[in-house]
Amino acid sequence: MFTANARAVFGPEGPFKPTAIERRDLKPHDVLIEIKYAGICHSDIHTARGEWGPVQYPLVPGHEIAGIVAQVGSEVTKYAVGDRVGVGCMVDSCGECRHCQNGEEQYCLNGMTGTYGAIDRYGQYTQGGYSSHIVVTEEFVVRIPDGIGLDVAAPLLCAGITTYSPLRHWGAAPGKKVAVVGLGGLGHMAVKLAHAMGAEVTVLSQTLSKKEDGLRLGADRYYATSDPETFKKLAGSFDLIVNTVRAAIDMSAYLSLLALDGTLVNVGAPAEPLSVNVFSLIGHRRSFAGSMIGGIRETQEMLDFCAEHRIAPEIELISADRIDEAWERVLASDVRYRFVIDISTLGNV
């Protein structure tokens, strides 16, 4: 066993406290990673607060992990000590079902293993990236290209891939009109990525307070959803809408913004059900869809795409003592645009 330093919550209300966690001894295909940076995703908050179901505490969240390989198992072939690597939302899957075989491990028919809050194949409870080290099988480790700093690489492992995957799947490209709802961690990556793919990008945010940022990030247009005129003006406009909002919003109003055959893909994951007026779908053969993170192969493709197009998230680097404060700001939609924890500030327990 390897003892790692970590920050954990011991109940739904927090706060974070320093703790020590055990990482398993390296299996032949395992990689020990010294974590340098960990992003804060809204999913960390939904999970830790029990919004998505029961949680076992203490919980160490964090599935946007960037670091350096510190040790490799006897049969590891893909990575060597010193390599710059990342780990996202999954650390394992069955590897045998048709989805795993297709490189879509996130949809593993036997259930992928989440980076935290899951039971792994060894019967151990997984703990995430708000920690000094993690042990992961090499198949679930990705390489961070040299052109991307480790601090800004971290959010790509969830916010990046979760928006890249649906943009690719539904064909964001020149000539396509894409709208992004919510300019937070996922939303700001969706804007950058859709712009780099050549699509015409519109941001739909609650207010115009971040309009300058949105345009600088690559949006062509920016509208406030608090203004009812927005929905009249943009009716029937978009080929694809990526909804990143973490709360239940009026889906039918957003569906009415789609053109014929358009798709609204939900990546935001509010605990409450979203209701849809079917007439907002059938009149224009529209689709209402969902998408979850992305497979390992596609995650590597996304990292390489970001390096090639010089895309990186906008981050606010914080010390480990400020995680609670950062969570409060995420909940208040006061994030510009991803908090990243400097793991060197974790300290010893």
Cis peptide before 337 (omega within 30 of 0): yes
Shortest separation between residue 291's beta carbon and ligand NAP, angstroms: 6
Binding letters toward ligand NAP, positions 32-51, x by CB under 6 A: ---------xxx--x-----
Residue nearest to ligand NAP (CB): 184
Shortest separation between residue 239's beta carbon and ligand NAP, angstroms: 20
Shortest separation between residue 300's beta carbon and Zn ion, angstroms: 18
With CB under 5 A as the contact rule, the residue among 31, 33, 41, 267 that binds Zn ion is: 41
Do the beta carbons of residue 66 and residue 148 sit within 8 Å? no
Residue nearest to Zn ion (CB): 41
Q: How is residue 326 annotated by DSSP? A: H
Three-state secondary-structure class, residue 106:
helix
With CB under 5 A as the contact rule, the residue among 4, 30, 36, 43 that binds Zn ion is: 43
- Report the partner that residue 335 touches, choosing among ligand NAP, Zn ion, none (CB closer than 5 to 8 A by kind): ligand NAP
With CB under 6 A as the contact rule, the residue among 333, 336, 342, 349 that binds ligand NAP is: 333
Q: From residue 249, how far is each of 53, 62, 257, 260 by CA, in Å?
A: 21, 26, 14, 22
With CB under 6 A as the contact rule, the residue among 5, 244, 263, 300 that binds ligand NAP is: 244
Q: In b/e form, how buried is each residue of 120-132, taking b as 16+ CB within 10 angstroms?
A: eeeeeebbbbbbb
Do the beta carbons of residue 148 and residue 156 sit within 8 Å? yes
Spatial separation of the C-alpha atoms in residues 143 and 300, rounded to whole Å: 7
Tell me if 158 contacts Zn ion by CB under 5 A. Answer: yes
> 100-129: which residues touch ligand NAP (CB under 6 A)?
none
Q: How is residue 131 annotated by DSSP? A: B
Do the beta carbons of residue 31 and residue 79 sit within 8 Å? yes
- Interface residues with ligand NAP (CB under 6 A) are 41-43, 46, 158, 162, 182-187, 205-206, 244-247, 249, 267-270, 291-293, 330, 333, 335
